[in-house]
Each structure stands twice: as structure tokens, then as C-alpha cells.
Amino acid sequence: MYDLVFPGCLFMQIGQVAVGVDGKQLPDYTDVLVGVGARVGLERFFFGPLGAHIELDATYYLSDVVLRLDGAEVWRLPDVSFAVRVGLDGLFDVF
């Protein structure tokens, strides 16, 4: 018998954006990154405790991160980003 599982969750992401010219100096630009998102996925166990999963993340960033060089905008963090996660699962009993 095969089981399909549809997991989902809401999450909050806090990070830091740091941009520098080279890796030896301190970053020229830093900013805090805050986002909220949702994750949906599909899991399937093939045989025994082994299976696979695929998930889709959608994150909306509350922070407005913009990089400027000489007054001109060179990069902007998009308001919404997406990520796909694929992996293998293995269930085991700890106790």
C-alpha cells in the first residue's frame, strides 16, 4: 500500500543581506530581511520507511531591499520568491 501525504505549513524567515566587493573586506551593504511564507508538498513512501518528497515554498518579503550604485538602482529583492525542494525520506524509530 502506498501512502500520499500532503504537508503544509506557514513560516517566518529572518535573515541578513550582505554585499561586499571582495571576501576580504567587511560588506559594503547590509540589511535585515524579513519574510512570511507558505509551504505545500507531496510525500510518498515507496517501500518500508523509504520515500521521497517535493515541496513548493512561496515567500513574501516584508523588507524592501534595494542596492544602489552611484544613485542608480542595480538590484532589488523581488516581493515574492519561490523555491522547490526535492528530497529523500527515511523514517526510523528513535526509542
Cα torsion angle, 85, 56, 45, 91, sign: positive
pTM of the model: 0.65
Q: What is the average pLDDT value for the chain, to the nearest integer?
A: 79
Residue 94: inside a domain: no
Residue 23: inside a domain: yes
pLDDT at 80: 92
Tell me which DSSP letter residue 22 carries.
Answer: S
Residue 42: inside a domain: yes
Phi, psi of 45 (to 5 degrees): -100, 125
Distance CA 39, CA 8 (A): 5
Residue 72: inside a domain: yes
Residue 95: inside a domain: no
pLDDT above 50 for 1? no
Percent of the chain residues topping a pLDDT of 90 = 12
> Each residue of 41-90: pLDDT tens digit?
888 888 778 888 888 999 998 888 777 777 788 878 888 999 999 999 88
**Pick from 19, 23, 57: nearest CA to 40:** 57
Containing structural domain, residue 79 = 3-84
> How many domains is the chain built from?
1
Distance CA 27, CA 19 (A): 5
Residue 34: inside a domain: yes
Residue 79: inside a domain: yes
